[in-house]
Structure 1
Amino acid sequence: MIATLDVDIRPGHGLGLFELGSSLWNVLDLLRSLPHIFPQVDIKYDVDSSVITPVVLHIRPHLDLLFSGHHQRLHTICVRRLRDPHPPLIVHYKDTIMSSQEEVLRRLGVSRTFGPTYPGDDLHYPGVWFSFEEDRIGEGIKASGPGHTEDRMQEVKRIIVSQKGPEGDERDALEEVLECPIMHDDIARAIVKVHRGVTLYQHLPSAGPIQIQLGVTTAQDLTCDLGPPLRTHYKEDDRMSIHSTTRETEEEEEADYFYNYFQHGIDVLISGHTHVCKKIILHTNIPGTPLFQRYKRCLWQIEGQPEDDEDDTPPRMKFYDRFESINHFLSPREMPPSMVLDRTDDEENLILPNSTTRLMGYDGIILEVTESGHVVSVMLF
């Protein structure tokens, strides 16, 4: 027996399990935990500009979820194929069932539920609109005149839920999502200062900045500021130690360990001997790369030196800037040494457009860069 998908419309806020403003990482994690309800999910994006491309999750056959390109936040929800019985779909608003296998949603039913709205081919209300076109937006079905019986009985083909603009107007699909309560516990931006550490700023206005300082911040500090990590991983892969200038006799006996904050896109390597921060890794979560969806996107910015003591806007390079620009910012005179890394070596049947990356080493910072010039991660040490 096929389970029925029952969703409620919340204009300007969400639909069913999905809340506008949610991160791509959170939504994919939710879908992965419910394979019996959502057995097939397709991820669509522009391969040529994957770091800033909007991402669409197509959940067959009823849902399309559009995520913004920079912040990877749920921007728009589209419900389609309302009459497809695989699985059956029930759509309701408050206590009213608007669409089901027995109830066909028509123009008249929408007007009765939501009231009058401005004339047009589609029915637009703040935070939700109803289209009579199956796939395309904008052309609509030409009405033969006001009050015409066929017009009132037009069948709704799609329902679109999006945020309300400041004046209740519609928002462009390529705009970023307006700040909303579901973001409050997330990191709004991470300011990177080479040799020093990272300053994290949350969306919640009342929350102060969180400092993660190399050689200063302890495991206890991290737990107090960010909460317990989703995973603690003890460092077992020592292949990079061959490049270390530290003598073996000086190495610490206790194993170093990572605090993995997947929900913030951050890893912190902690000394097993002193329990103090040794390295910080920030992840960009680029579609088409091996680490996609393991971490939420961290909106990092690498800060340079201010021009003078009074300069309160020092130059910064951001996560979406190309490697060529960031390299000139960090090392304007020469190209740094690099090493090739293929994270799919152990995956025989995995083919990705950006499986091979290059580690570019600078004084105090390492960038992992794709073949297309996007920075997958930033490591401070």
Structure 2
Amino acid sequence: MLDLEIVPERSLGCDAWEFVLGMHFSQSVAIIQSQVGTIRGVQVLYSDQNPLSVDLVINMPQDGIRLIFDPVAQRLKVIEIYNMKLVKLRYSGMCFNSPEISPSIEQVEHCFGATHPGLYDSQRHLFALNFRGLSFYFPVDSKFEDMFLFQPGYAHGLGSLQFPNGGSPVVSRTTIYYGSQHQQANSSSPGGVCGAPLPELPLSCYRHQLHLRRCDVLRSATATQGLRLHMFTEGPGRSLSEGGAGRSVCRVVRFGSSAQRVCAALGAPARTYYKADDKMRIHRPTARRRPPPASDYFFNYFTLGLDILFDARTHQVKKFVLHTNYPGHYNFNMYHRCEFELTVQPDKCDTNSLVESRGAVCITAYSKWEVVSRALRVAERPVVLNRASSTNTTNPFGSTFCYGYQDIIFEVMSNNYIASITLYQPEGSRPRYAVNSIA
């Protein structure tokens, strides 16, 4: 049984780890993965068809805990303890819920005080005791209903509510949220829309990494030139204990930039990935006489939702991959969502010998492919992409579909959302020198 500390309006955790309001989905998953054997039977709940309108939920049924994430920002907004019998809970070191201690109204008042009025829902027979950033919900027996309806004295303290021995209501559910909007945080259905306010990313979750606010794709009429990345990280010279604030950073990375320049602009990548060699090369007649060719390599920036591909010979940028991190995709949870904005000028089309010109199309991480393809008039048949971790396993999420347009490859999921966008530089247009640009 987990023994956890509640911090209203902030977190639920212990000395080794804590779930903090505002933290990213991937950081919560990393905590759960680090507690294999302690936290078991974890479920991820999401909507395949409406991933932006239904909350993203991590459910831990064996511990009675539910983590509710904003579906757009993918950051934690509500922590819900829905089975009080499966977990021990403390506040400021004082235990108020355990197999030996029942979380009754009197126990909650003793531990937290009764400085806020309670609310009684006569339709659901549920009494809610609300503090800033914390709510307790008590199911009320119908025989005690008049006590809550006609004795308003409990609004200034629960001492006026007198219950017979063993008759005091016991907490059935506890929610931790940001701010004082407890009515908005009251969501009892897993995966349901929950309108609790969302805090900023806590400084304890920065972890000395750059995080993306917005990515502007720099383009000429029909070609990509590079990316302008608006990011934030910890402020210089300020520790978290001193209340250090984040600072904004803006950098530009272009096609042709060297690996050293990219590192100077964005810092060291979270991982470097080398593209696999051609497995059939060993069967070629010249394979034994020629040295193996060098492999192109990626810089993976997971918190930016970005991969950058470098040419193995020139060590210059030749491709960008922007990830949208939708649940149900093969790479879900590897990257944070790249909040990009891509403006594409459609190709001119010849209709009855007249050149037709169409307006620019703005594409973001939330655009649906049916809208984008209609505006760009993409008629090309897609390439079906089916990822698998090995030849013996299959992809449980199904195939995605890749469409090419100008110098862009759109990877589209079956629900019509864009999983990733690849921006590349055609072979003939690559410069022979590096474009060294940081700001």
> Out of 327, 348, 367, which is 1:321 matched to?
367
Q: Over the residues paired in the alignment, what is the CA RMSD in angstroms?
A: 2.9
Q: Please state if 1:155 is matched with 2:190.
A: no
1:6 match: secondary structure = strand
> Out of 299, 323, 326, which is 1:259 matched to?
299
| 1: CA distance, partners of 2:139 / 2:251 | 48
Alpha-carbon shift at residue 253 of structure 1 (Å)? 4.8
User: Which residue does 1:270 correspond to in 2?
Assistant: 310
> Out of 247, 261, 285, which is 1:221 matched to?
261
Larger Rg: 2
Calculate percent identity across the aligned residue pairs: 26
| 2: CA distance, partners of 1:271 / 1:157 | 58
1:223 match: secondary structure = helix
Alpha-carbon shift at residue 79 of structure 1 (Å)? 1.2
Alpha-carbon shift at residue 255 of structure 1 (Å)? 1.9
In the alignment, residue 117 of structure 2 is paired with which amino acid?
Y
> Out of 85, 110, 113, which is 2:111 matched to?
113
| 1: CA distance, partners of 2:53 / 2:299 | 27
> Out of 229, 247, 251, which is 1:210 matched to?
251
- What TM-score do you get using the length of structure 1 for normalisation? 0.81
> Out of 396, 400, 403, which is 1:360 matched to?
403
Alpha-carbon shift at residue 15 of structure 1 (Å)? 0.9
Alpha-carbon shift at residue 65 of structure 1 (Å)? 0.3
Residues 196-345 of structure 1: pairs in structure 2 closer than 5 A: 196-204=225-233, 206-216=247-257, 218-236=258-276, 253-304=293-344, 316-329=362-375, 331=376, 333-344=377-388
User: Which residue does 1:83 correspond to in 2?
Assistant: 85
Alpha-carbon shift at residue 225 of structure 1 (Å)? 3.4
* Contact persistence 1:78–1:161 (CA under 8 A): yes
Alpha-carbon shift at residue 345 of structure 1 (Å)? 8.2
User: Which residue does 1:310 correspond to in 2?
Assistant: none
Once the two structures are superposed, residues 240-268 of structure 1 have per-residue CA deviations (whole angstroms, 9 ceiling, x without a partner) of xxxxxxxxxxxx95321011222332211
Q: Please state if 1:179 is matched with 2:200.
A: yes
CA pair 110-14 structure 1, distance change in 2 beyond 3 A: same
Once the two structures are superposed, residues 267-306 of structure 1 have per-residue CA deviations (whole angstroms, 9 ceiling, x without a partner) of 111122222211111111111222222222222222357x
| 1: CA distance, partners of 2:277 / 2:334 | 19
Structure 2 segments unaligned to the other structure (5+ residues): 120-126, 152-159, 186-193, 234-245, 280-291, 346-359, 425-439
CA pair 285-51 structure 1, distance change in 2 beyond 3 A: farther
User: Which residue does 1:50 correspond to in 2?
Assistant: 51
2:163 match: secondary structure = helix
1:49 match: secondary structure = coil
Alpha-carbon shift at residue 43 of structure 1 (Å)? 0.7
Once the two structures are superposed, residues 92-140 of structure 1 have per-residue CA deviations (whole angstroms, 9 ceiling, x without a partner) of 1112212122111111222233222113120111111011249xxxx9x
- What TM-score do you get using the length of structure 2 for normalisation? 0.71
CA pair 300-233 structure 1, distance change in 2 beyond 3 A: same
* Contact persistence 1:71–1:299 (CA under 8 A): no
Alpha-carbon shift at residue 60 of structure 1 (Å)? 2.3
* Contact persistence 1:365–1:380 (CA under 8 A): yes
Q: How many residues matched?
A: 343
